Amino acid sequence: MLTQSNFQSEKILFDRATSNSDAIPMVFAFPNTYTVGITSLGYQVVWANLATRPEVEVSRWFTDTHEPLPRAPELLGFSFSWELDYVNILNALTSLGIPINASDRTAEHPLVFGGGPVLTANPEPFADWFDFVLLGDGEELLGKMLTAYQTVRKANRQEQLLYLAQVAGIYVPRFYQVTYQASDGAIAAIQPIDSQVPATVEKQTYRGNTLSSSTVVTDKAAWESIYMVEVVRSCPEMCRFCLASYLTLPFRTPSATDSLIPAIERGLKVTNRLGLLGASITQHPEFDILLDFIARPQYDSVRLSLASVRTNTLSLKLAQTLTSRDSRSVTIAVESGSERLRQIINKKLHNDEIYEAAANAQAGGLSALKLYGMVGVPEECDRDIEQTIEMLKALKKLTPKLRISFGCSTFVPKAHTPWQWMPVSTSADKKLKYLQKQLAPKGIEFRPEGYKDSVIQALISRGDRRLQLVLRLAYAYSAGEVPSDGMYKRAFKELRGQLPSLDWYVHQTWESDRILPWQHLQGALPVSTLLKHLASSLEVKSESGFDLN
């Protein structure tokens, strides 16, 4: 157990409000350690939003430490950003004496809510555990939720939730009935059970000109003493698998001079470590203005870290700036060495641009280039894997001074993307092992994401409400630890007949007219548009492959 010294080391960059005498007692939790949670910019910003409101008295909770908690909290919120953290949510509820299932709670228990990318994408596997869910950006949604709650604060639990369910972006699972064609079959219908509840809950999108920046700096963070600035939100590339792009559309770019530079200046007054975040930061139309600002002599002691940059924007100037600001590496996402496969993905990138980016990285003084890719992509063939190997070998030969690493994951279908209907490839594990065998002898560091972890991630990302039976049983088997893949398989075996199989959720192609578990939750784009994007990706001409054995 860590001590309160975690909080004592913080540099808080905002003025906490003095709570009113009748302030709402609230706990805001991150279901992981303090070191991980405080590095989450989303968690930091929501906490600051709450802590600057006099009508709220908020305490933070992490798995290893917490601030003094209110005796009788009225609200308990979770920032949920990694699927397998569900285990820590169940642990938290148990340790706080709160029934796991929302239907078992009474007036003496707080309303339990959640937000973040996992729940915005697909809250259904966890629907029984949350009284309500916030779908989308918190900047405006959080205030609307608190205003609505204050209106019905003295009402009974059912009346409170019914009122909250009528606020745009607030999803109350208990007011939606899901029926199935069979206990182990597809969904037959999802319908509201009260006429006051909307048939569809729409994700809320913040469209202001100011994005997020750190509200606290601490040496206890995973990125020690870093100040983070969100440069862009979403991504204009729209790779067909990418939740970070599709779920958060539209692409937003705040003004460099009016918003980003003032935020950077605030941060550099308290630390010399700066992180620029976003799915595609170098596609900000004023990114060069930011680079020029950070390159000023007064910031010579600054250590700069960037999120993954678009490959064809890795210029010599960018590499030199990173080198001069104590960065040793840069990360690019290439997905594959196959031009054909990148066309299927909608990755607008050519191999020549990858080679040029690597050459710029080396010439600019960087010592390492990290590439990210994926196996198991729809329509992938063995030749695509060989072309990835050939491309990486060519990079190694072209830039011998660079340490080349290749991080590789398995394709996982995500809700609200064009590939939500596509399966996890059963041959992906074999392809990861083949890449390891071919790349390691060539001095290319290979960093695969575990295939078994990808299967569980896909299970949760495409799960419906019945899946909570599996999650609870696997949780019980693991005694509160993260379950192994064998525990999930054991749970499916024990629950056979009560829900579909693991293969059904993970490895089957779903029909385009199937009612999806999140069908009643509207993302950035309608299903009809996602289907058009799916069709366009699969129209790319296939290429025959050969056996890797």
Does residue 548 have a pLDDT over 70?
A: no
Q: Return the SS3 of 136.
A: strand
pLDDT score for 308: 83
pLDDT score for 4: 58
Say how far apart CA 196 and CA 460 lie, in whole Å.
30
Mean pLDDT of the chain: 95
Q: Is the peptide bond before 423 cis (omega within 30 degrees of 0)?
A: no
Q: 5-176 and 225-446+528-538: same fold?
A: no
The encoded tokens of residue 305 equal: 């870290």
Average pLDDT for 149-164:
98
Does residue 542 have a pLDDT over 60?
A: no
With a CB cutoff of 8 Å and minimum separation 6, the contacts of 230 are: 41, 211, 212, 213, 277, 278
Q: Which pLDDT tens digit goes with each residue over 262-286? A: 999 999 999 999 999 999 999 999 9
Say how far apart CA 345 and CA 378 lie, in whole Å.
9
Domain assignments of the chain as residue spans, ordered by start: 5-176, 225-446+528-538
5-176 belongs to CATH 3.30.310: no
Q: Which pLDDT tens digit goes with each residue over 61-85? A: 999 999 999 999 999 999 999 999 9
Question: What CATH number labels 225-446+528-538?
Answer: 3.20.20.70
Q: Return the SS3 of 246.
A: helix
Average pLDDT for 111-124:
98
The answer to whether 337 and 389 are in contact (CB under 8 A) is yes
Say how far apart CA 338 and CA 344 lie, in whole Å.
10
Biggest distance spanned by C-alpha atoms of the chain: 72
pLDDT score for 540: 85
pLDDT score for 544: 42
Does residue 425 have a pLDDT over 70?
A: yes
Q: Which pLDDT tens digit goes with each residue over 38-47? A: 999 999 999 9
SS3 letters across 498-537? CECCHHHHHCCCCCCCCCCCCCCEECCCCHHHHHHHHHHH
Q: Which of 474, 456, 425, 424 is nearest to 82 (CA)?
A: 456
Does residue 33 have a pLDDT over 50?
A: yes
Average pLDDT for 461-480:
97
| pLDDT band with cut points at 50, 70 and 90 for residue 138 | very high
Does residue 327 have a pLDDT over 70?
A: yes
Q: Is the dihedral of CA 153, 155, 157, 159 positive or negative?
A: negative
pLDDT score for 198: 97
Please give the share of the chain, as a percent, with pLDDT higher than 70: 97
Query: What does each C-alpha distance from 394 to 182, 355, 397, 427, 444 come to in angstroms?
Result: 53, 8, 5, 26, 11
Q: Which pLDDT tens digit goes with each residue over 195-248? A: 999 999 999 999 988 999 999 999 999 999 999 999 999 999 999 999 999 999
The answer to whether 423 and 507 are in contact (CB under 8 A) is yes
The angle at the Cα of 173, spanning 487 to 77, to the nearest 5 degrees, equals 80
pLDDT score for 546: 37
pLDDT score for 547: 40
